[in-house]
Amino acid sequence: MTPDGGTSGPARVEEVLRTEQISMSFGPVVALRSVDLHLKRGEVLGLVGDNGAGKSTLVKILTGLYRPDGGRIYLEGSEIRFRSVQHARQHGIETVFQDLALVDELSVYHNLFLNREQTCGGWFRFLNNRAMRVSAKRFLDDIGVDILSVDTPVAMLSGGQRQAIAVARAVRQENIKILLLDEPLAAMGAKETSLIIGLIKSLSKKSNISIIVIDHNYTHLFEICDRINVIQHGQVTVDKNLSEIRLEELIEFMVQSFRRDVAMGGAKRPEIPSSDC
Ligand SMILES: Nc1ncnc2c1ncn2[C@@H]1O[C@H](COP(=O)(O)OP(=O)(O)OP(=O)(O)O)[C@@H](O)[C@H]1O
Ligand SMILES: [Mg+2]
């Protein structure tokens, strides 16, 4: 059975991910009430919502870090329960978290091969630095990441370049299907932002990777995404293709919702939705 009760068939082939009624609480705090979401192959889905709406919690569930209290996750039509981040990774789900998990002292190419180092030699194995260097350079060129030298320690890179290396590392996984990005553009300058926006676009269009991206800047999301979902009070309340909603409408909707929440005494302090850099 497919999630909607039908049998699996060609109509669902393009859908890589679906969640149904995902819920999660932390003690008395209900982070997710009932999240229904879907993601197509090669699609970029933007998740927006006020602070505390539950976006990061959802990403942590999809990446196997948290187990939801209820609901179902379907990957390419089959129900799955992720046991760990490693388990989700085995199924082609990669996440770039805010801390990026790069090792500052190591070079760009060592970071790209972290825990998957290439070795050479017989009885005594050596790191095959030459091969890793060449392969790292080629890979970064392929996905359009321009770094002066792959020998540079990542500590010396800009925030945008570091983010690009973290994304590149995630998408180097052979079986990657879904990339989850939690606020990849936070605190970035204009140049760095355009580097990451270009990278996200090219990964979805050229590599057919499906991407979920969380950001508070709606202008950026309108540049990157094919579809936008709004999460409010732990639920998806708006699901629109970009052709169905204008930037101004989204901003107006979010502002009105916030005012309504304030009037009802339930609003948390929001991050102001921004429409510029
Ligand atoms: N580990 C945790 N322990 C307790 N409460 C948590 C935990 N993680 C999240 N929460 C709570 O769950 C709710 C949803 O948090 P979450 O981080 O998912 O929101 P968010 O939409 O990502 O917000 P932001 O835009 O600020 O990043 C919030 O009320 C938050 O305080
Ligand atoms: Mg968050």
Residue type, 37: L
Burial 74-102 (b: 16+ CB within 10 A, else e): bbbbeebebeebeebbeebbbbbbeebeb
List of domains in the chain: 1-92+178-277 (3.40.50.300), 101-174 (no CATH)
Top mutation candidate among 25, 35, 48, 56 for ligand 1, by most atoms within 8 Å of CB = 56
- Closest residue by Cα to atom 18, ligand 1, is 54
Task: Identify any residues that bridge with 93 across adjacent strands, giving them in sequence order.
Answer: 178
Residue 174 is predicted with a pLDDT of 78
Top mutation candidate among 50, 55, 57, 237 for ligand 1, by most atoms within 8 Å of CB = 57
Distance from the CA of 159 to the center of ligand 1, in angstroms?
24
8 A C-beta contact, residue 178 and residue 209: yes
Residue 266 is predicted with a pLDDT of 61
Residue 163 is predicted with a pLDDT of 85
Distance CA 114, CA 105 (A): 12
Distance from the CA of 25 to the center of ligand 1, in angstroms?
10
Token pair of 90 as six digits: 């085995």
> Can you say how many angstroms the Cα of residue 48 is from the centroid of all Cα atoms in its chain?
12
Residue ranges, the chain, pLDDT below 70: 1-13, 98-100, 123-124, 266-277
Give the strands of the sheet with 15-26, arranged side by side. Answer: 29-40, 15-26, 70-75, 78-80
Residue 188 is predicted with a pLDDT of 78
Please give the model's pTM, rounded to 2 decimal places. Answer: 0.85
Distances (CA, A) of 104 to 141, 153, 155, 188, 209: 22, 6, 4, 18, 27
pLDDT digits (tens, 9 = 90+) for 95-146: 987 666 788 899 999 998 887 777 777 766 777 788 889 999 998 888 888 8
